[in-house]
């Protein structure tokens, strides 16, 4: 594979820099001002979560509670499909009627949706990955470029959005099995990316690249090296920090007012054997605030020190301006994989509350109201056991996990509506079983050292909760897994998809189902919405991962379901 990290000539870079300094933005260029003020163009969806606050809320209201029953499929586009088990988890981007979509191979598609009744592929950019990665969760827009990631080798690629030609490509392949799966986050003149592949023994990192040239500006590792702050929490003699995990595999948030990027991190590795890596294992299972200019860590909070159940915290952290106890507050909220809803002060990460959003939690008896740590946490212990109900050992190797390894909430994102002031949490409601198996162990984890089993039907819930109090307002139960995530709109609707192929709309107050369609192939990707010529559309990608398909072990009616990778677009 040719490393094209420095494709642009010096003359090109100088010209590009001069244009950025002296010339006004050309029509269609995605500027930092446009991204900060994304609500001023609600017809577009310019970044992964639509806005920097990751609320996944759209001000569009043409499709609403009264007319959503008339929603219909207006067009579909086949994507990927070169192998049998591809999955699509990306959120399409939309600008002025053009859609930018990425498949699992990292292939970028520009689709013309301006007619409103058909989607025509205008061009594709193929990064020529050497093998199929875990997934690819989408793209970003900056200037006249579409920024994507690819794995094997791990690269960030900038493509001219007019002609589909690669402008620059930066190779970040610093370790075997490092992957880039999260959609990039554009902050001012930088592209922020987080590394994945932690379960396979990658020491993960966050990095910033110059948006015009692709030059690496800074890179900071989640797992500290010996002597660095936090290294004292890796108390092993195995150099476990070198394969420590801490993957950043879901796109973070950004607060322009305080200039901080908020990004969650994944589990420690080896995944299920804390005896190999005694200690709290910072900065895994954490939310971290970074300065995007310097890469300096501002603050952090760790959810599950010494995690042995894969309860990572990599998925989205939502920024909310609201009222708490009669006071105006700026907070971060996170519906954690471990079954609790957390809220923090945004400026400094000060813990405010944690309340269960699941009814069946076995790993701990609760969260301490002062520290935010599990009530059983003992800083003097090298190996935490918490409630004692789930800590698998060689003498007692099989334990029932509630929530299951996947959560709770996971990469399928929650959404927040400033209209209802409610957080909508798509959550798995099942438990599973984990059995230690030393014959499978290796130092880097790689899903080794244990076997997990589905022991019951995988169902899901949609939970409406108040993030300022943690109070659950409404819950509905669905007999199929939700790996999709949710979208909230000003039309009073919550949209989501399920693994049985159902795409549905719910009332944002009562969660009453208002409309549904079954397209026959399941969803792993979150829905989004955009508008063209005043008409609103809702779009979603289909295609299930092998893990998602395994969740149908106890769902006999889906035994013969087929997997197709498609873009579906709906309208009135």
Rounded Cα gap, residues 143 and 17, in angstroms: 12
CA-wise closest residue to 156 among 111, 102, 198: 102
Per-residue pLDDT at 443: 57
pLDDT at 6: 38
Share of the chain above pLDDT 90, in %: 85
Q: What is the mean pLDDT of residues 314-335?
A: 96
Instruction: Please state the φ and ψ torsions of residue 365, each to the nearest 5 degrees.
Output: -85, -5
Residues whose CB is less than 8 angstroms from the CB of residue 157 and which lie 6 or more positions away in sequence, other chains included: 106, 108, 125, 127, 147, 148, 149, 150, 166, 168, 169, 170
Told to judge if 39 belongs to the known catalytic residues of this protein, a careful annotator would answer: no
For the segment 424-440, what is each residue's pLDDT rounded down to a tens digit?
999 999 999 998 877 66
Residue 550 banded pLDDT, cuts 50, 70, 90: confident
Question: What is the rounded radius of gyration, in angstroms, for the C-alpha atoms of the chain?
Answer: 22
pLDDT band at 9 (very low <50, low <70, confident <90, very high): very low
Residue 481 to residue 48: CA distance in whole angstroms: 23
User: Across the strands, what pairs with 216?
Assistant: 209
Report the 3 state secondary structure along 545-571.
CHHHHHCCCCCHHHCCCCCCCEEEEEE
Active-site hit among 310, 461, 500, 524: 310
Query: Residue 204 in 3-state DSSP?
Result: coil
pLDDT in tens, 496-515: 999 999 999 999 999 999 99
Q: The pTM is what?
A: 0.94
DSSP string across 138-168: --EEEBTEEEEEETTTTEEEEEETTT--EEE
Residues in Cβ contact with 396 at an 8 Å cutoff, skipping those fewer than 6 apart: none
CA distance linking residue 122 with residue 141, whole number of Å: 17
Please name the residue that has the structure tokens 């398909």: 549
Task: Identify the CA nearest to 374 among candidates 359, 356, 392, 358.
Answer: 356
CA angle 550, 554, 555 (to 5 degrees): 90
Domains of the chain, each with CATH number or no CATH: 10-63+86-571 (2.140.10.10)
Cα distance between residue 161 and residue 163, in whole Å: 6
First to last CA, the chain: 46
Q: What is the pLDDT of residues 23-45, one digit of tens each?
A: 334 448 999 999 999 999 999 99
pLDDT confidence tier of residue 529, bands split at 50, 70 and 90: very high
- CA–CA–CA angle 172, 56, 208 (5° rounding): 20
Q: What is the pLDDT of residue 21?
A: 36
Sheet holding 185-187, edge to edge: 185-187, 190-194, 205-210, 216-221
The torsion angles phi and psi of 29, rounded to 5 degrees, stand at: -70, 140
Q: Quote the mean pLDDT of the chain.
A: 92
Task: Tell me: pLDDT of 2 over 70.
Answer: no
Note the pLDDT tens digit of each residue in 373-407. Answer: 999 999 999 999 999 999 988 889 899 999 999 99
Instruction: Please tell me what DSSP assigns to residue 572.
Output: -
Cβ count within 10 A of residue 440:
13
Least confident of 7-21, 155-169, 327-341: 7-21
Q: What is the pLDDT of residues 48-94, one digit of tens each?
A: 999 999 999 999 999 999 999 999 999 999 999 888 779 999 999 99
Rounded to an integer, the average pLDDT of 302-319 is 97
Report the pLDDT averaged over residues 186-203. 95
pLDDT at residue 444 in the model: 57
pLDDT of residue 24: 37
Retrieve residue 331's tokens. 């907070």
CB-CB neighbours of 489 under 10 Å: 29
Q: 310 pLDDT exceeds 90?
A: yes
pLDDT tens per residue across span 224-269? 999 999 999 999 999 999 999 999 999 999 999 999 999 999 999 9
Phi, psi of 484 (to 5 degrees): -95, -45
> Shortest CA distance to 489 belongs to which of 540, 415, 541, 426?
415
Is the preceding omega at residue 283 within 30 degrees of 0, hence cis?
yes
Please state the φ and ψ torsions of residue 32, each to the nearest 5 degrees.
Answer: -55, -35
* DSSP code string of 210-276: ETTT--EEEEEESSPPTTSTTGGG---SS-GGGG-B----S--EEETTTTEEEEE---BSSSS-GGG
Query: What's the average model confidence in pLDDT over 344-349?
Result: 97
Predicted confidence (pLDDT) at residue 16 exceeds the cutoff of 50: no
In this structure, the strands spanning 513-518 and 216-221 are: unpaired
Task: Give me the pLDDT at residue 18, please.
Answer: 36
Residues 119/569, Cβ–Cβ less than 8 Å: yes
Percent of the chain with pLDDT over 70: 93
């Amino acid at each position: 594979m040719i490393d094209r990290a420095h494709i642009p000539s010096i003359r090109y870079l100088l010209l590009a820099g001069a244009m950025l300094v002296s010339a006004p933005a050309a029509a269609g260029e995605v500027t930092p001002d446009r991204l900060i003020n994304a609500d001023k163009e609600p017809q577009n969806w310019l970044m992964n979560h639509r806005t920097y606050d990751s609320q996944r809320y759209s001000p569009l209201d043409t499709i609403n509670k009264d007319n959503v029953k008339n929603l219909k499929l207006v067009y579909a586009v086949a994507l990927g499909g070169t192998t049998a088990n591809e999955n699509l988890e990306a959120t399409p981007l939309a600008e002025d009627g053009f859609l930018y979509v990425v498949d699992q191979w990292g292939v970028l598609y520009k689709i013309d949706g301006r007619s409103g009744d058909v989607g025509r592929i205008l061009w594709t950019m193929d990064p020529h990955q050497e093998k199929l990665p875990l997934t690819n969760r989408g793209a970003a827009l900056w200037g006249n470029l579409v920024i994507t990631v690819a794995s094997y080798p791990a690269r960030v690629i900038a493509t001219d959005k007019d002609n589909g030609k690669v402008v620059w490509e930066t190779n970040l392949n610093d370790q075997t099995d490092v992957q880039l799966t999260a959609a990039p986050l554009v902050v001012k003149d930088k592209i922020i990316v987080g590394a994945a592949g932690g379960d396979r023994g990658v020491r993960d990192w966050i990095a910033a690249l110059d948006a015009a040239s692709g030059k690496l500006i800074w890179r900071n590792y989640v797992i500290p090296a010996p002597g660095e702050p936090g290294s004292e929490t890796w108390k092993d003699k195995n150099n476990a920090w070198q394969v420590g995990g801490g993957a950043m595999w879901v796109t973070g948030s950004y607060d322009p007012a305080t200039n901080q990027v908020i990004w969650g991190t994944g589990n420690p590795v080896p995944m299920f054997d804390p005896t190999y890596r005694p200690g709290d294992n910072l900065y895994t299972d954490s939310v971290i605030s970074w300065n995007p200019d310097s890469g300096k860590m501002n603050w952090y909070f760790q959810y599950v020190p010494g995690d042995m159940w894969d309860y990572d915290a990599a998925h989205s952290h939502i920024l909310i301006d609201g009222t708490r106890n009669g006071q105006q507050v700026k907070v971060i909220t996170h519906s954690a994989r471990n079954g609790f809803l957390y809220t923090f002060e945004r400026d400094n990460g000060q813990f405010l509350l944690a309340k269960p959003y699941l009814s069946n939690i076995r790993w701990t008896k609760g969260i301490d109201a002062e520290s935010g740590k599990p009530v059983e946490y003992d800083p003097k212990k090298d190996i935490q056991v918490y409630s004692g109900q789930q800590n698998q050992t060689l003498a007692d190797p099989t334990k029932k996990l509630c929530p299951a390894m996947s959560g709770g909430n996971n990469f399928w994102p929650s959404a927040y509506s400033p209209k209802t002031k409610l957080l909508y949490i798509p959550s798995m409601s099942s438990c599973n079983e984990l059995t230690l198996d030393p014959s499978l162990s290796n130092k880097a984890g790689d899903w080794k050292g244990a076997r997990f089993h589905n022991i019951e039907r995988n169902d899901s819930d949609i939970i409406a909760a108040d993030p300022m109090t943690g109070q659950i307002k409404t819950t509905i139960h669905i007999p199929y897994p939700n790996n999709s995530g949710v979208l909230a709109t000003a039309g009073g609707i919550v949209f989501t998809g399920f693994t049985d192929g159902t795409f549905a709309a719910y009332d944002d107050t009562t969660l009453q189902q208002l409309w549904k369609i079954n397209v026959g192939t399941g969803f792993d990707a979150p829905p989004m919405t955009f508008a063209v010529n005043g008409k609103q559309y809702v779009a979603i990608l289909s295609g299930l991962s092998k893990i998602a398909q395994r969740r149908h072990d106890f769902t006999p009616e889906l035994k013969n379901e087929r997997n197709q990778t498609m873009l579906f677009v709906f309208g009135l």
